[in-house]
């Protein structure tokens, strides 16, 4: 009795090996590590451009609302929100608050005793765009401070080096001062 052995091909493989799955996971992780920061940076750059435009519109709106008044006497953040000088998507009418393009809440201060200057202070400016926002918006303001350090003194020129040096926190606070005239 002879037994013959017949060759049969190995069964077809279904699925992937653990090594193949791990390689794909690593490749996806590397791609995400490169792509996600670029999306975040480009999103911040777009918001920075929005912020510069909005700052110029806010100044124009405030000056237009107070054109007949000799000073800014009595100006408050809630009053400016009610006058709709801030973009509506960034305001909370009920609370009388407004935020900048990066979510930092605005504060308003008047210079005393003349009340002819307003300082808008906003926080949450990311390090990656802080200097760009200051550089691109500063022409509309008489003075600018970053993290409580004057980078454009009243009536002076913007100090680019001081701007870069002081935009060093992860989230920065910028104070923008403008006059009635």
Q: What is the distance in angstroms between the CA of the first residue and the CA of the last residue of the chain?
A: 114
| Residue 4: pLDDT band with limits 50, 70, 90 | low
pLDDT at 40 over 70: no
pLDDT at 39 over 80: no
Tell me, yes or no, whether 26 lies in a domain: yes
Which of 6, 141, 135 is CA-nearest to residue 60? 141
What is the DSSP secondary-structure string of 32-83?
Answer: HHHHHHHHHHHHHHHHHHHHHHHHHHHHHHHHHHTTTSSS-TT--HHHHHHT
Per-residue model confidence (pLDDT) at position 1: 53
The pair phi, psi for residue 30, each rounded to 5°, is -65, -40
In tens, the pLDDT along 42-57 reads: 777 888 888 999 999 9
In tens, the pLDDT along 152-176 reads: 999 899 999 999 999 999 999 999 9
pTM of this prediction? Answer: 0.76
Q: How many domains does the chain have?
A: 1
Tell me, yes or no, whether 10 lies in a domain: no
* Residues 159, 151 contacting (CB under 8 angstroms): yes
Per-residue model confidence (pLDDT) at position 41: 65
- Which range marks the domain in which residue 79 is found? 18-179
CATH number at residue 45: 3.30.1690.10
Per-residue model confidence (pLDDT) at position 115: 87
Tell me, yes or no, whether 2 lies in a domain: no
Tell me, yes or no, whether 83 lies in a domain: yes
* Residues 71, 116 contacting (CB under 8 angstroms): yes
């Amino acid at each position: 009795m002879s037994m013959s052995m017949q060759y049969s091909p190995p069964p077809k493989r279904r699925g992937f090996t653990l090594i193949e799955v791990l390689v794909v996971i690593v490749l996806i992780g590397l791609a995400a590590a490169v792509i996600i920061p670029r999306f975040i940076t480009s999103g911040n750059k777009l918001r920075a451009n929005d912020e510069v435009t909005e700052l110029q519109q806010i100044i124009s709106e405030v000056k237009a609302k107070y054109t007949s008044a000799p000073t800014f006497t009595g100006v408050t953040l809630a009053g400016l929100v009610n006058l709709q000088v801030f973009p509506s998507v960034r305001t909370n009418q009920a609370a009388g608050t407004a935020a900048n393009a990066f979510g930092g809440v605005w504060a308003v201060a008047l210079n005393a005793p003349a009340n002819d200057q307003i300082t808008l202070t906003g926080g949450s400016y990311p390090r990656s765009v802080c200097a760009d926002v200051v550089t691109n918006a500063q022409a509309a303001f008489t003075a600018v401070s970053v993290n409580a350090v004057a980078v454009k003194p009243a009536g002076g020129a913007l100090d680019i080096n001081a701007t870069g040096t002081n935009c060093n926190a992860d989230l920065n606070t910028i104070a923008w001062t403008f006059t009635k005239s």
